[in-house]
Structure 1
Amino acid sequence: MIPNKRFISLDVFRGLIICLMIIVNTPGSHDTSFALLQHANWNGFTLADLVFPSFLFAVGNALFFSMQKWKTMTQGQVLAKIGKRTLLLFLLGYLLYWFPFFETNTQGHIVFKSFAGTRIMGVLQRIALCYGIASLLIYYLKPKGALIVSAIILVAYPGLLFWLGDPGNKLNMVGNAVTKFDLWLLGPDHMNHGEVVPFEPEGILSTLPAITNVVAGYLVGWYIQTAGKTKRMLLRLIATGAGLTFLGLCWNYVIPINKNLWTSSFVVHSTGLDCLLLAAIIYIADFLNITRWTWFFEVFGKNALFIYLLSEVAAILLRATHLYKWIFNHIFTMAGMYTGSFLFAIWFMLMCWLTGYILDKRKIYIRV
C-alpha cells in the first residue's frame, strides 16, 4: 500500500517551473534578454531549455497522485477522464494560438481570423498528447512496462531522425525528419513561423520522445512516495540525477542535445537535471524543514496550468494593444536594456503570481 502523503517539494518544484516559464516567455524584449534566459539557437542547452521538459516532468509527478484515485474507478471512467483532459488541454492550446480570434485585413477592416493560418501544435498541445499517451502506457503496462517503452522510444528516435532526414541535413532546421513530417501532415500554414523557414518546435514526431519526460516524472513521483522521506531515497535520487545528466552529455557526442528536435540526449540530460533540482528542493524543504520561502512557489503550483494560460493571454492582449512595448520602453528601460528586460519579466511574473495568490486565499483551484 503506497502512502498518499504529498511532499511539499513536488508542489514547489511545479511552481518554480511555472515561475521560470513566465520569466523566459515574457521579457521586455527578446532581443535584449540575458543569454541564460534565451533558448539555444539550435544545438546546446540553456536554463530556458530546461523549462518545458521540467513542466512535462511535473505533469508526470502530478499524474502519480491522480492515478491513485483511478483505482476505485472502472476502466471506462478512467479512459473518459484521460480522453477528456487530453482533448481539453489540446483545445485550449489551439484556441490560445487562434486568440484573439479577429485580425485587421489589408484594407484596415477587422475580420474573423481564419482557421487556415492557425498553428495547430504548441506547448499545451504537446502537454496534452504526452499526458494522454503516458497515462495510457502507465495504466495498461504499469510503471515497468512504461519504462521499457520509454527506453525503446529513446533508442529508436535517433534512428528515425537519421533514416527519414534528408542527406546532409538530417539534424538541421531544413530537411530534418521532424520538419518533413510536420510539413507533410500539417502543412506550412499550420506551423510556427518564428524562424526563417516554417518549423514547429513542438512538432508531432518530436512529441514521441517528450512522452518519456512525463513517464520519468511519474516514476520519480512514485519512487519518492514509496520510499518516503529517507536519506536513502534522497541519495538515490541524486545518484540517478547525476547519472542521467552525465549520460545525456555523453550521448550528446552521438546525437546533439537539441530542444527543437527534442533529441534523446536532450530528454536524458533534462530529466537528470530535474532529478537533481527536485532533490535539492526536497533536502531544503522536507529534510531541513526550511519552508518560509516555499509558499511563494506553492501559489504557482496550486493553479499551474491556469496561471500559465493567464500569462499567455495577458501577454497577447498587451502586445495587441501595444501596451507591452510602451510599458517596457517608458518604464523599465531606465534600468538599461538587458536589466530592464529582465525586470519587466519579473514584474509580469509577479502580476500573474498576485492573481494566483488571490485565488489561493479564496481556496479557488482551477483544474484542467
Structure 2
Amino acid sequence: MIKLLNAHAERVLSRCSKSRLLALDVLRGMTITAMVLVNNPGSWANIYAPLKHAHWHGLTPTDLVFPFFVFMMGISIGLVINRAKTQPLQHLKVWTRTLKLFGLGLFLFLFYINFQSETFSWVEDRLYKIRFFGVLQRLAIVYVIAYYIAFYVSSKTQKYILVSILSGYWAISAFVPYQDSVGNTYMGELAYGNSLAAWLDNLILGSQHLYYKTAQPFAFDPEGVLSTVPTVASALTGVFAANILTNQSLQTADKAKQLLIYGIAMLLIGYLISLVVPINKQLWTSSFVLVSSGWASAILAGLIWLLDIKGYKKWSAPFVVFGVNAIGFFVFSGLFARALLMIPVGETSLKGMLYRDYFSQIISPTFGSLVFALCFCAACYLVFYKLYQKQIIFKV
C-alpha cells in the first residue's frame, strides 16, 4: 500500500509545472479541501466542534478557510500584476473572470429542486429568493477591486489603503447610527442581526435574498455588502505577501522567514486590537482580517520550508490535485452535494439514506458524519485526479 501511495504521489508531482509555486498550490488545495469537507458533513446535527464556525465572536479552524482563499487570491494577483501591465487585453480578462465567478455563484444557488415537496416552486423558492451574495460572488467583487488597486496604485499607497479600510470599517461600524423599522436607534452594535452591516444588507438587498433571513431586528448575509469591504483588505495582505515571493534578491529560506515575520506581526496586531474589535468572521471585522491573514502567511512560510527547503513533498500530492483546480473542485462539489440532496429515496434523499443507513452506524453519528465528508472528498478526488492526468484545468 505504501509503495502504491508513493508511486501515486510521484506521478502527481512529476506533472507539476515548474513555473508554479508548489507551496501556494498545496495551501490552496488544503484550503479548498477543508472548505468542501466542512460544507458536506453527513448530518449538520452531528459535527465535531473544530469543523463548525464560531457561533458569533471567536475563531475556529473552519473560520480560517474562506479568508485563506482570499489571501491566496491576493497572492495570485501580486504574482502576475507586473506582467499584466504589458498585456493590452488584461482588463477584458479581469472583467470576464469577475463575471464568470459571480455567475457561477448565482448558478450554484439556483441549481436545486426539492423533488420531495409537492409545494416546491423553483421560480418562487429559488429564483425569486435568489441569494445575490455568496462565496463566489464575494470572491468576484474582491478580485476586481484588489486587482485594480494593485494595478494602478503603488505598494506604499496600497499599505495606506489597507490601514484606511481596516480603521474606516471599524469607525463606521462603531459610530454611524441606524434605525430599525419601529424607530429604535442603534450605534456600535456588533450582535447577531444587529449591526450596521446587517442593517445595510437588509436595506439594500431585502431579507428574502439574504442567508440569515429570520435574524432580528435585521436579516443579513455573512457575505454581505458592507462586510465585503474589509475582505478587500484580506486580499491586499496577500498582494503584500506576493511582493516577498517575487523579490529576486531573496533566497527561498529568506522568503519563508520574511513571510513568517509578516504573519506573526499581523497575528500580534490582530489579537491586540481584538480586545476592542472582536474577531468575527460573519462581520469580517478588522481584527479577523489581520488574524486570518497572519495565520495564512505563517502557514505558507511553513509549507515553503517543508516542501521547497526540506523537500518533503509526497504527502502534498492530493492537495496539488485539488489546488491547481480549486474553483472547479468547489463548483463540482457544490453540484455533487445538491444532486445527493435532490435524488429522492423513500421519504428522504440519497444523502439522507446513505448517512442514516450506513455512515451514522460507524462508531457514532458524529464520527460517521465526518467519514461521510471524507468519502465525499475522496469521490471528488477520483474525478479531479483524472482531470489532472489530462491537464484539464477549469479557469475563470
* TM-score normalised by the chain length of structure 2: 0.86
CA separation in 2, counterparts of 1:136 and 1:48? Answer: 30
Q: Any idea what the Cα deviations from partners look like across 1:34-77, whole Å, max 9, x if unmatched?
A: 10010001000000000000011111122233324413212xx2
Q: Which moved more, 1:30-39 or 1:186-195?
A: 186-195
Q: Does 1:210 align with 2:231?
A: yes
Match in the other structure for 1:24: 38
2:57 alignment partner, one of 43, 46, 56:
43
CA separation in 2, counterparts of 1:195 and 1:15? Answer: 34
Superposition CA RMSD, Å: 2.0
Change beyond 3 A, Cα 1:69–1:230 = closer
CA contact (8 A) 2:166 2:230 kept: yes
1:353 alignment partner, one of 369, 374, 381:
381
Match in the other structure for 2:337: 315
CA separation in 2, counterparts of 1:117 and 1:359? Answer: 35
Q: Post-superposition shift, 1:233?
A: 2.1
Q: Post-superposition shift, 1:135?
A: 0.2
Change beyond 3 A, Cα 1:316–1:195 = farther
CA separation in 2, counterparts of 1:39 and 1:358? Answer: 32
Change beyond 3 A, Cα 1:230–1:193 = closer
Q: Does 1:134 align with 2:159?
A: no
Q: Does 1:64 align with 2:85?
A: no
State the one-letter code of the partner of 2:331: L
CA separation in 2, counterparts of 1:20 and 1:105? Answer: 30
2:135 alignment partner, one of 118, 123, 126:
123
State the one-letter code of the partner of 2:52: Q
DSSP 3-state at the match of 1:28: coil
CA separation in 1, counterparts of 2:328 and 2:142? Answer: 18
DSSP 3-state at the match of 1:351: helix
Match in the other structure for 1:97: 109
Q: Post-superposition shift, 1:269?
A: 0.4
CA separation in 2, counterparts of 1:53 and 1:29? Answer: 25
DSSP 3-state at the match of 1:213: helix
Change beyond 3 A, Cα 1:351–1:165 = farther
Match in the other structure for 1:183: 202
Q: Does 1:7 align with 2:21?
A: yes
Q: Post-superposition shift, 1:229?
A: 3.8
State the one-letter code of the partner of 1:78: Q
CA contact (8 A) 1:165 1:171 kept: no
Change beyond 3 A, Cα 1:289–1:165 = farther
Change beyond 3 A, Cα 1:195–1:66 = farther
CA contact (8 A) 2:260 2:297 kept: yes
Q: Which moved more, 1:107-116 or 1:176-185?
A: 107-116
Q: Which moved more, 1:63-72 or 1:129-138?
A: 63-72
Change beyond 3 A, Cα 1:201–1:32 = same
CA separation in 2, counterparts of 1:190 and 1:176? Answer: 18
Change beyond 3 A, Cα 1:320–1:165 = farther
Q: Does 1:338 align with 2:366?
A: yes
CA separation in 2, counterparts of 1:79 and 1:350? Answer: 37
State the one-letter code of the partner of 2:358: I
Change beyond 3 A, Cα 1:161–1:72 = same
Q: Post-superposition shift, 1:107?
A: 5.7
Match in the other structure for 1:242: 264
CA contact (8 A) 1:165 1:176 kept: no
CA contact (8 A) 1:104 1:110 kept: no
Q: Which moved more, 1:324-333 or 1:8-17?
A: 324-333
**Overall identity of the aligned pairs, in %:** 31
DSSP 3-state at the match of 1:31: coil
Give structure 2 stretches of 5+ with no counterpart. Answer: 1-17, 179-185, 344-348
CA separation in 1, counterparts of 2:43 and 2:115? Answer: 24
Q: Any idea what the Cα deviations from partners look like across 1:216-264, whole Å, max 9, x if unmatched?
A: 1122123112154433222221122112112111111111000000000
CA separation in 2, counterparts of 1:356 and 1:99? Answer: 21
Change beyond 3 A, Cα 1:39–1:217 = same
State the one-letter code of the partner of 2:166: L
CA contact (8 A) 2:42 2:368 kept: yes
Change beyond 3 A, Cα 1:109–1:300 = closer
DSSP 3-state at the match of 2:56: coil
Q: Post-superposition shift, 1:165?
A: 5.1
CA separation in 2, counterparts of 1:320 and 1:106? Answer: 11
Number of residue equivalences: 362
* TM-score normalised by the chain length of structure 1: 0.93
Change beyond 3 A, Cα 1:169–1:243 = closer
Q: Which moved more, 1:163-172 or 1:130-139?
A: 163-172
Q: Any idea what the Cα deviations from partners look like across 1:143-193, whole Å, max 9, x if unmatched?
A: 332222111100110111112355367101222011111111111111113
Q: Which moved more, 1:336-345 or 1:142-151?
A: 142-151
Q: Post-superposition shift, 1:299?
A: 0.3
State the one-letter code of the partner of 1:152: S
Change beyond 3 A, Cα 1:334–1:5 = same
Match in the other structure for 1:173: 192
Q: Post-superposition shift, 1:295?
A: 1.5
